[in-house]
Amino acid sequence: MEVNMSQNISQNSNQNATTSVVGTAASRKDGRAKVTGTATYAAEHQLSGLVHGYVVTSPIAKGRIRSINTTAAAQAPGVIAVYTHQNSPQIFKPANNWMNSKIYEARLPLSDDQIHYAGQVVGMVVADTLERARHAAHLVQVDYEPQAPQVNARTANYQPSPPWFGEDFTFNSGSFSTGSAEVTGIEAQIEATYTTEMELHAPMEPHATIAHWQGKDAVTIYEPSQYVLLTQKTYAELLGLAVERVRILSPYIGGGFGSKAFPWPPSILCAAAARDLGRPLKVVNSRRQMTANAGHRSETEQTLKLSATAAGKLVLIEHLAKSCTSPVDVFPEPCTIVTPVMYAAPNIRLEQQLAVMNVGTPTFMRAPGEAPGMWALESAMDELAWTLKIDPVQLRIMNQTQSHQRKNLPFSAKQFTECLEQGAERFGWQGRSPEPRSQVSPSQTQDDLLVGWGMAAATFPGYRGATSAKVRLLPDGTAHVLSSGNDMGTGAYTVVGMTAADALGLPLNQIRVELGDSLLPDGGIAGGSQMTASLTPSVALACQEVLKAAEATTAAAAFEKLRQTGRAAFEATASTAPGEETKQFAFNSWGAHFCEVTVDELLGRLRITRWVSVMNIGRVLNPKTAASQVRGGIIMGMGQALMEECHFDPNTGFPVVYDLATYHFPAHADIPRIEVAFVGEPDLNFNPMGVRGVGEIGITGVAAAIANAVYHATGKRIRSLPILPEKLL
């Protein structure tokens, strides 16, 4: 049964308010499975006859392959096959248009002899064990004709960026659109350039695929996928199959952060080679291979100009951003899209440029655009606040915009001021000393530490997509919720279960949730922080529909009918999608970060000692998993701020990062207690659950809050991330 929903589910989703589970801090439904090791991730599936692939990658960053000698590899013990561009398994060119299919890198693996970046896949060895495949991969001899690569973002050739999802980056308002000369009323101005380095997603679970063919025309693929149904369609095109002949299984994802929505070259090669071999094949990326074959966030350079009246009202904002992409696909890091969302100004100019470098293809990484964009914008706002001698909290309250200045739509359920005010209150912001270098923490054995307080705003758009979910009531008194949507560690199993528990009036432990299987109704994408906002309305509606199908007013009555009639199940599928509201409102989540740092100035040793964040995300379905998402984002932001950086050898263009010892992200010792609170009301304009996403907002503004605190501590303005010790000496 398919139905569309127009009424407000939240009013009748909770049949018994006293037993409501939505809004409570329920623990993860998948928590026990994960901590006891029974949650099976893609590479852990045991299949009879499974063989192992190991990709061979290019050590040069630009040029071509003269010849490949695979003799030694092919003769090594246990080797079953060696693939190169000269004997690639068959791969079909997909439409790659987001509707029918989407791959991260437009160039198909092993499609020719050209080398575009170091780490590019140039072959794959298949053997009976991982160790033998890896050993033989090392024996493949490739003769390259190298050319000088471009891997220096500072000297790259920047051109105007292509549009972002059909919308031009360039935006001019006020005098910038009319071309009129003078902007009046400017009494204070700052202009500065902010940079970030290349960041890696570095999920705990490496990218991995097992392809298991049933004959030559049907395949089951175990792969962590943030977008199961589109991945299914994509593999169908890549392999020349009907969609229903491909099954994707992705019940658990060990972190994706944007890098696991679509297939990467090693996975495509795995699926194609498995058909050629007629055996189940597993390919797991090494950490080394993930530096080139699993995406990254491009380095950025952003110039911000803010002009204001003496009272602090913004008159003009200019935001120019540069980022880099690979020679084989186009991905601009959309730094400027957040700017007209944050602050109002009568004159705004936005522009982005893009350069091609010989690096792997960049992609979406947690808060693409907003993470680096808010670093620059929120640093610049802090600089303006110091220039004007206005409290940075007040400067933000005074300049916030009630409408999206590109869409010309009012924001729905915006409680940004409450985030700022409550955050300041919880942190004790009014106790901040007014000058830089004026707070110290005495030490018995060391020199005194400088103490700094900083703050920054956070925001992320409310995205929502079309989804479907199925609910099934069984005679054993349980309800099953089924969808291809998935949980990449975010808590989707839990909030989907909670939504169904309330809608059916059942306790949470009587709800079973199955996710991440392409046989199930389309649950959309776990990306853009939209899984909860997109999927829970369909789950709630399907619960109502299954009671209708049972002709029962309660789940208990429906179960009784099943027992009396001997019927196997009642079942209903419901779909929901965004509608007219997107033409009436703009939707964003909002937040504010407040932090304290200490700086041991002699040693350049920086520690984050205190953190308070207040978020406005619409209805909070589960304060425990939601706060956990915010904390995860903040910790990732701390990494961006203080240590994350993928280096390339300037001569060869090869990444000089090969594992998690050479790519640093925060250890527990780097992270203080992080206090997270939520404010605001359900955003019922957005969807019937009133919930906006929470996966990405946490990271936005974090690096700026830290750099702003460093300025308050030391008087030193850091405009390039990461803030390494040498920048503080």
Partner 1 sequence: MKNFAYTRATSTRDAIAQTTGNPSAMVIAGGTNLVDRMKVFLDQPSDLVDLSRLPLKQMERTRSGGFKIGALVTNTTLADHPEIRRDYPLLSRAILSGASQQIRNVATVGGNLLQRTRCPYYYDTAFGCNKRQAGTGCPAATGVNRGHAILGASDQCIATHPSDMCVALAALDAIVEVEGSRGTRQIPFAEFHRLPGDTPQRDTNLEPGEIITSITLPPLPAAKTGVYLKLRDRASYAFALVSVAAILELSGDEIRSARLALGGVAHKPWRSPEAERFLVGKPATPETFTQAAAIALQSAKPLTYNGFKVELSKRIIQRALAVVAKGGGLA
Residues at the contact surface with partner 1, assessed by CB under 8 A: 59, 77, 118, 131, 134-135, 138, 288, 445-447, 602-605, 607, 642-643, 647-652, 654, 656-658, 661-662, 664, 666-670, 724-726, 729
Whether the Cβ atoms of residue 365 and residue 199 lie closer than 8 Å to each other: yes
User: How many of the other CB atoms lie within 10 Å of CB of 204?
Assistant: 9
User: Considering just the CA atoms, what is the radius of gyration of the chain in Å?
Assistant: 26
- Round to whole Å and give the CA distance between 586 and 692: 12
Whether residue 111 contacts residue 57, with contact meaning beta carbons closer than 8 Å, is answered with no
DSSP per-residue string spanning 90-139 = P-PPP--SSSS---SSSSPTTSSSEE-STT-EEEEEEESSHHHHHHHHHH
CA dihedral of 253, 255, 259, 264, whole degrees rounded to 10: -40
Closer CB to partner 1, residue 143 or residue 182? 143
Say how far apart CA 380 and CA 591 lie, in whole Å.
18
Comparison of 519 and 603: residue with beta carbon closer to partner 1: 603
In angstroms, the CA 611 to CA 725 distance is 21
Amino acid at 341: V
* Least Cβ distance, residue 511 to partner 1 (angstroms): 37
Q: Which of 377, 702 has the CB closer to partner 1?
A: 702
**Rounded Cα gap, residues 353 and 301, in angstroms:** 10
CA distances from 593 to 455, 616, 628 (A): 5, 12, 15
545 is catalytic: no
Nearer to partner 1, 70 or 405 (CB): 70
Pairwise CA distance, residues 300 & 154, whole Å = 10
Q: Is residue 636 classed as helix, strand or coil in its secondary structure?
A: helix
CA distances from 375 to 163, 399, 450, 616, 645 (A): 22, 18, 23, 20, 15
* Cβ–Cβ < 8 Å for 451, 598: yes
d(CA 270, CA 288) in angstroms, rounded, equals: 18
Q: Is the dihedral of CA 649, 650, 654, 660 positive or negative?
A: positive
Cα separation, 264 vs 365, whole angstroms:
15
The single residue of 301, 370, 644, 696 carrying the catalytic annotation is: 696
Kindly state the smallest distance separating residue 63's Cβ from partner 1, in Å. 14
Q: Is residue 398 classed exposed, middle or buried when 0-12, 13-18 and 19+ CB atoms within 10 A define those classes?
A: middle
Return the structure tokens found at 179: 């071309």
Q: Which two tokens stand for residue 278?
A: 């007629």
Q: Is 608 exposed, middle or buried (0-12, 13-18, 19+ CB in 10 A)?
A: buried
How far apart CA 493 and CA 501 sit, in angstroms, is 12
Cα-Cα-Cα-Cα dihedral of 714, 719, 723, 728, to 10°? -40
> Least distance to partner 1 from the beta carbon of 654, Å?
6
**Distance from C-alpha of 701 to C-alpha of 455, rounded to nearest angstrom:** 8
Phi and psi based region of residue 298 (left: phi greater than 0; alpha: psi -120 to 50; beta: remaining): beta
| Positions marked active-site | 696
